[in-house]
Amino acid sequence: MRSIGQTSSADIMATLSDLSFKYQFFMKTYRYRQFDWQPGAVLNKPLSQSRIAVVTSAAFYRPDQPPFDASIRGGDYSFREIPLETDLETLQIGHKSDAFDHSGIERDKNLALPLDRLRELKAERLLGDVAPRHYSLMGSISAPARLVSMTAPEIARRLAETRVDGVLLTPV
Amino acid sequence: MIEKSGIPTVSISLLREVTERVRPPRALDVDRPLGYPLGAPHAIDLQKRIVMAALELLLIPTQHFLLIDFPKSI
């Protein structure tokens, strides 16, 4: 139970009914593409020996990268590579969607791309290493085919290339 | 696709109903609003706890779909 006095809406669990009607309708009728995976991948060593990367759909991009394009029909399926040394405060946000409250990730990018947190966990020896490169994409995609066939394999290839042991996926 | 490359993944789940349809291999359901996947802005301790709780799921082999609730009594 929440302690007395915490009455802000930020304490309330998200449910589909929190979305405006048009989004509820979309999300209830959308034919979700199931996560494309097969059993087998698992972390076989402690986190304290593992290298971790983050992939987020928060549509963050560096100022030296092109912005995500919310006007593309079906959604912008491109991704941005975010190097670990990026100053999080310089990241821009590509979403034009009004489906969720952006103010949290605007105030603290770690809320979706927790690079500072991962560095702290590594310093505390709870994590072995933080990947040199992380990835962001635009989550509000209604036609995900190209995201699945083009973007996802490329991100997977780059993660394997940098010997990432495990990935945290953060939606917004 | 990342899983097919041999790298395990874990997702943060904000909308349980959606996660149950997408069925990722591992997901940590967090009792937070949309837009706040790792808790709250600048809530360093909470963010670290959610991150670690999610990453610990990477150690669990899954055949189908694993959905765990982040403890509500934080």
pLDDT per position as a tens digit, A9-26: 444 566 666 666 655 655
Residue among B2, B25, B64 whose CB faces A155 most closely: B2
Maximum distance among all alpha carbons in chain B? 36
**Interval A78-99 mean pLDDT:** 89
Q: Is residue A22 part of a domain?
A: no
Q: Is residue A3 part of a domain?
A: no
Domain that holds residue A91: 45-170
Cα–Cα dist A80/A153, whole Å? 14
User: Cβ of B25 and A39 within 8 Å?
Assistant: yes
Q: Note the helical H segments in chain A.
A: 21-29, 103-107, 115-123, 145-146, 152-161
Q: Does B46 touch chain A (CB under 8 A)?
A: no
Q: Is residue A39 part of a domain?
A: no
Q: Does B42 touch chain A (CB under 8 A)?
A: yes
**Interval B32-39 mean pLDDT:** 91
Q: Is residue A123 part of a domain?
A: yes
Q: Is residue A37 part of a domain?
A: no
Q: How high is the pLDDT of residue B3?
A: 86
Query: Contacts of residue B32 in chain A, CB cutoff 8 Å?
Result: 10, 13-14
Cα–Cα dist A88/A91, whole Å? 5
Q: Is residue A7 part of a domain?
A: no
Compute the mean pLDDT over every residue in chain A, rounded to the nearest whole number.
83
Task: Using the predicted structure, report yes or no on whether residue B65 has a pLDDT greater than 90.
Answer: no
A·B CB contacts under 8 A: 184
**Matching residue, tokens 């009728």:** A29
Quick one: CA torsion of A36, A32, A149, A44, rounded to 10 degrees?
A: -20
Sign of CA dihedral A144, A23, A106, A50: negative
Query: Contacts of residue A101 in chain B, CB cutoff 8 Å?
Result: 33-36
Per-position b or e across A142-171, b if 16+ CB within 10 A of its CB: eebeebeeebbeebbebbeeeebbbbbbbb
Cα–Cα dist A52/B55, whole Å? 9
Least confident stretch, A31-45, A50-64, A66-80, A91-105? A31-45
Structurally, chain A folds into a number of domains equal to 1
Query: Contacts of residue B8 in chain A, CB cutoff 8 Å?
Result: 41-43, 166-167
Q: Is residue A14 part of a domain?
A: no
Q: Which residue in B has a C-alpha nearest to residue A28's C-alpha?
A: B18
* Closest-CA distance of chain B to residue A73, Å: 22
Cα–Cα dist A51/A130, whole Å? 5
Q: Does A168 touch chain B (CB under 8 A)?
A: yes
Which residues neighbour B51 within 8 Å (Cβ) at sequence distance 6 or greater? A114, A117, A118, A121, A168, B38
